[in-house]
Structure 1
Amino acid sequence: MIPVQGYDGRHVAVLGMGRSGVATAKALEAGGAIPIVWDDSPTGRAAAEANGWALRDLTAAGGFDGIAALIVSPGIPHLYPTPNPVIAAAWDAGVPVDNDIGLFFRSWATDDWDGFDSAPRVIAVTGSNGKSTTTALIHHILVQNGRPAQMAGNIGRGVLDLDPAHDGEVVVLELSSYQTDLARHLTPDVAVLTNISPDHLDRHAGLGGYFAAKRRLFAEGGPDRAVIGVDEDEGRYLANQLVDDLSDDRLIRISVTRKLTSGWCVFARKGFLSEYRRGQQTGSIDLRGVAGLPGAHNHQNACAAYAAARTLGIGPKGIEAALHSYPGLPHRSQLIAERRGVKFVNDSKATNVDAAAKALQAFPKIRWICGGLQKEGGLGPLIPHLGSVVQAYVIGREAESFARQLPGVEAQVCGTMEVAVAAAMRDAHPGEVVLLAPACASFDQYDSFAARGDDFTARVLAAL
């Protein structure tokens, strides 16, 4: 646990008693603060009482009297589409609002570091797609190369659940736009942007607000090194803003759509990763045989992880060996099984159109299980990538509407995962892939993308 610094003996309010809120309250208490908590649900309030924390309705008159700060769990809206009433009350009372990421960055460094030979470092990864894989891959590369490392944030442990730093340790954080948008302190040593595509638009009042939330990690964080995906205009804009010219080694640009040779850059084309620095090639890896990273979208993740590892002085050969031993993450291009020449792949984390489009580009012949709770913007960006789809099997509350938006694709409205898996397995031929890549949120039928992926996996394995 990371004891929160700066609030010793002061009352700090915590809104939301999910995983993040509970860990935050415990870390505040460990640092000498006095947590005052609130949750809108009776279950959350019961969890707070079970831990012995005082409950207070923070929207009541005088709710913020004596409160030094309000710490908000990431799922709670603080501005769009409308501010949570507790957050609005904090604004009116002049109480600073923060989240656990902000607390981590203000509390991570301690006086113990004065005795370390090498200061601990933080790599923070954000972006629309691939940030979980990139985060896990960076952590894997570090561990495989003998570097002490921890992983947390939007993946694995909460940031305040981390162990106190060791000499030379590296913490790798996955940060969502919900987390970067509100944190009052963002000071990573290395910051990574994988890519930008429309997502969470209601929470950020459009793509501009969403990009602004991501940009804070770089503009306000001031990292020593920045790794930026430049395959979208937002990435190119951000890269251009960070340095005066391409000879500045504080920036590494990455791409899977173009060859880059100016400045420090890493790109992948036709399955080969290349690193260039000052116009000279300094590294190359054949990614085609890396089983845990199939498809161009995973090659982008490999470029980002490679670049981040290079900022820490890890050599290309050490990175290459680690890539080959990377097992992959559940629900992200995860090979579940193979039977009679048919592969079954779980990419339930493809919850938006851009992620699903990238999954469709990874395989030549696809029996595609798709659908769910559609997000804003429609399915337009998917249309150019439907050529690999042999047939679609559509699930979810909006299955019929989804199926009508797939021009030239034979689409069967299945409704449920049970029906879709059975139909796809019945129809599939050798050389084809049964792919779950929903392009939608899961909340019409499941509690999470993980629950959806687990259902797909269980039904496939039960039928084999």
Structure 2
Amino acid sequence: MIAVHGHAGERVAILGLGRSGLSAARALRAGGAVPVLWDDNPDARARAEAEGFETADPTRAGALEAVTMMVVSPGIPHLYPAPNPAIAAAMEAGVPVDNDIGLFFRALGQGAWDSLDTPPKVVAVTGSNGKSTTSALIHHVLEEAGRPAQLAGNIGRGVLDIDAPGEAGVVVLELSSYQTELARALTPDIAVFTNLTPDHLDRHGGQGGYFAAKRRLFAEGGPDRAVVGVDEAEGRFLANQLATASADDRVIRVSAGRKLSGPGWQVFARKGFLTEWRKGRQVGSIDLRQVRGLPGAHNHQNACAAYAACRALGLGPRQIEAGFHSFEGLPHRSQIVAEAGGVTYVNDSKATNVDSALKALQAFDKVRWICGGLMKEGGLGGLEPGFGHVEKAYVIGREAAAFSLELKGVEAEVCTTMAQAVARAVAEAQPGETVLLAPSAASFDQYDNFEKRGEDFVAQVKAALGRD
């Protein structure tokens, strides 16, 4: 645990008692603060009280009078589409609102590192797609290279649950827009921007607000090095704002679709090959086609971003390549779960939006595509470039019939349930094809989260193949 100091004796409100809320409460208590916790779920309050925490509803009259700060869990809206009543009450009362990420960066700055030869570093990864894989890949490569590293934030452990990093330690954080938007302190050593596609627009008041939330990590964080995906206009804009000249190698530009040129520092992938250029010459390359845990162009973008971050941390190209080859991928993200009869079964349940599902489709040649769920804003038109890879779609979800009508020019069968979709896909798949779960939709019509949906897919595949 990383104790949060500077609030000894103060009452600090904690709103939301999931992983981040409880870890923040423990860290504040370890630093001498008096956390006062609240969650609308009575079971969550009961668990907090069992740990000896005080609970109190911050919306009640007078509840915030002695409170000096409110720490908010990322899933609770603080501005759009409307502020949570407790957060609105805090803002009305002039109580500063923060989150566990802000507490982490402030607490980390209090570390006694003067005696260390190599102080710890923080790598923070944000973006619409690929940030989990990129974060996990950086962490994996560091560990394989013998560097002490911890993975936290929006993946793995709560950020305040990790151990205080020591000599040459690296903390790799995956940060969502919900986390970067509200954190009052953001000071990573290396910041990574993977890409930007429309998502969470209701929480940020539109695409501009969404980009602004991501941009805070760079504009206010002031990282020593910025790794920026430049395949979208927002990434090119961000890289341009951060660099003081074309040769400014504090910005490492990354692309998964085109060769980058110029006197600066670039890492790009084309036709399955990753290439690093610096100061006008090639200094490294990796053949990604044989890296089993990173299939498809979208994972090649993740590989480029992770490679750039690891190079910025001082690792050599061959160290990074070795780490890539031993990386097995993350569950629910282009995860190969079975191979039988020449057919590959891939779980990409995390492909919850059009852009990530498109990239999943384009990673394979002949796809039996399981898709569907709660459609997000904008429809499915953006998937059309990937339809040429689809042999047939098997649509799940309560809105399966309406979803299938959006798949123009694709043979689609309304299956509704995962069990039926998998059974039909397994029965019809031919050698050389891929049965792919890439829903392009949220899971909440049938599952608690995308993980549960992916787990169901894996279970149904095993059952259909007789591997229970």
What TM-score comes out, normalization by structure 1 length?
0.99
Aligned partner of residue 27 in structure 1, secondary structure: helix
Task: Render the CA deviation track for 1:397-435: whole Å, top value 9, x for unaligned.
Answer: 111111001111000000000110000001100010000
Task: Tell me, yes or no, if the aligned pair for 1:130 and 1:194 is still in contact at 8 Å.
Answer: yes
Q: Report whether the alignment pairs 1:198 with 2:198.
A: yes
**2:110 equivalent in structure 1:** 110
**2:395 equivalent in structure 1:** 394
Task: Render the CA deviation track for 1:206-231: whole Å, top value 9, x for unaligned.
Answer: 11111110000000000000000000
**1:369 equivalent in structure 2:** 370
**1:139 equivalent in structure 2:** 139
Task: Tell me, yes or no, if the aligned pair for 2:422 and 2:464 is still in contact at 8 Å.
Answer: no
- Cα distance in 1 for partners of 2:398, 2:388 equals 25
Query: Deviation of residue 463 (structure 1)?
Result: 1.7
Task: Render the CA deviation track for 1:125-157: whole Å, top value 9, x for unaligned.
Answer: 000000000000000111111111000001100
What runs of 5+ residues in structure 1 fail to find an aligned partner?
A: none
- Cα distance in 2 for partners of 1:205, 1:412 equals 35
- Cα distance in 1 for partners of 2:57, 2:336 equals 47
Aligned partner of residue 289 in structure 2, secondary structure: coil
- Cα distance in 1 for partners of 2:450, 2:432 equals 27
Q: Report whether the alignment pairs 1:94 with 2:94.
A: yes
Which amino acid letter does the alignment assign opposite residue 185 of structure 1? A
**1:67 equivalent in structure 2:** 67
Aligned partner of residue 136 in structure 2, secondary structure: helix
Task: Tell me, yes or no, if the aligned pair for 1:246 and 1:264 is still in contact at 8 Å.
Answer: no
- Cα distance in 2 for partners of 1:91, 1:339 equals 57
Aligned partner of residue 134 in structure 1, secondary structure: helix
What runs of 5+ residues in structure 2 fail to find an aligned partner?
A: none
- Cα distance in 2 for partners of 1:460, 1:101 equals 38
- Cα distance in 2 for partners of 1:87, 1:183 equals 14
1:55-454, aligned counterparts within 5 Å? 55-262=55-262, 263-454=264-455
- Cα distance in 1 for partners of 2:287, 2:337 equals 24
Task: Render the CA deviation track for 1:353-394: whole Å, top value 9, x for unaligned.
Answer: 000000000000000000001111111110121100000000
Which amino acid letter does the alignment assign opposite residue 236 of structure 1? R
Aligned partner of residue 274 in structure 1, secondary structure: strand
Query: Deviation of residue 51 (structure 1)?
Result: 1.4
- Cα distance in 2 for partners of 1:401, 1:46 equals 42
After superposition, the CA RMSD in angstroms is 0.7
Moved over 2 A (4+): 109-112
Which amino acid letter does the alignment assign opposite residue 376 of structure 1? E
Which amino acid letter does the alignment assign opposite residue 200 of structure 2? H
Task: Render the CA deviation track for 1:203-259: whole Å, top value 9, x for unaligned.
Answer: 111111111100000000000000000000000000010012121111000001210
Query: Deviation of residue 63 (structure 1)?
Result: 1.4
Query: Deviation of residue 351 (structure 1)?
Result: 0.5
Aligned partner of residue 160 in structure 2, secondary structure: helix
- Cα distance in 2 for partners of 1:317, 1:246 equals 27
Which amino acid letter does the alignment assign opposite residue 330 of structure 2? L
- Cα distance in 1 for partners of 2:135, 2:111 equals 28
- Cα distance in 2 for partners of 1:408, 1:380 equals 11
- Cα distance in 2 for partners of 1:283, 1:419 equals 47
**1:458 equivalent in structure 2:** 459
**2:9 equivalent in structure 1:** 9
Task: Tell me, yes or no, if the aligned pair for 1:261 and 1:277 is still in contact at 8 Å.
Answer: no
Aligned partner of residue 114 in structure 1, secondary structure: coil
What TM-score comes out, normalization by structure 2 length?
0.98
Query: Deviation of residue 111 (structure 1)?
Result: 4.4
Alignment CA distance shift 1:111-1:304 (3 Å): closer
Query: Deviation of residue 112 (structure 1)?
Result: 2.3
- Cα distance in 2 for partners of 1:360, 1:76 equals 32
- Cα distance in 2 for partners of 1:390, 1:338 equals 18
Aligned partner of residue 447 in structure 1, secondary structure: coil
- Cα distance in 1 for partners of 2:280, 2:434 equals 40
Task: Tell me, yes or no, if the aligned pair for 1:141 and 1:323 is still in contact at 8 Å.
Answer: yes
Task: Tell me, yes or no, if the aligned pair for 2:135 and 2:151 is still in contact at 8 Å.
Answer: yes
- Cα distance in 2 for partners of 1:224, 1:246 equals 17
Query: Deviation of residue 49 (structure 1)?
Result: 1.3
Query: Deviation of residue 48 (structure 1)?
Result: 1.9
Query: Deviation of residue 53 (structure 1)?
Result: 1.2
- Cα distance in 1 for partners of 2:316, 2:49 equals 51
Name which of structure 1's ranges 214-223 and 40-49 shifts more when overlaid on structure 2. Answer: 40-49
Identity %: 68
Name which of structure 1's ranges 179-188 and 255-264 shifts more when overlaid on structure 2. Answer: 255-264
Task: Tell me, yes or no, if the aligned pair for 2:273 and 2:288 is still in contact at 8 Å.
Answer: yes
**1:41 equivalent in structure 2:** 41
Aligned partner of residue 369 in structure 2, secondary structure: strand
Task: Tell me, yes or no, if the aligned pair for 2:190 and 2:226 is still in contact at 8 Å.
Answer: yes
Which amino acid letter does the alignment assign opposite residue 169 of structure 1? G
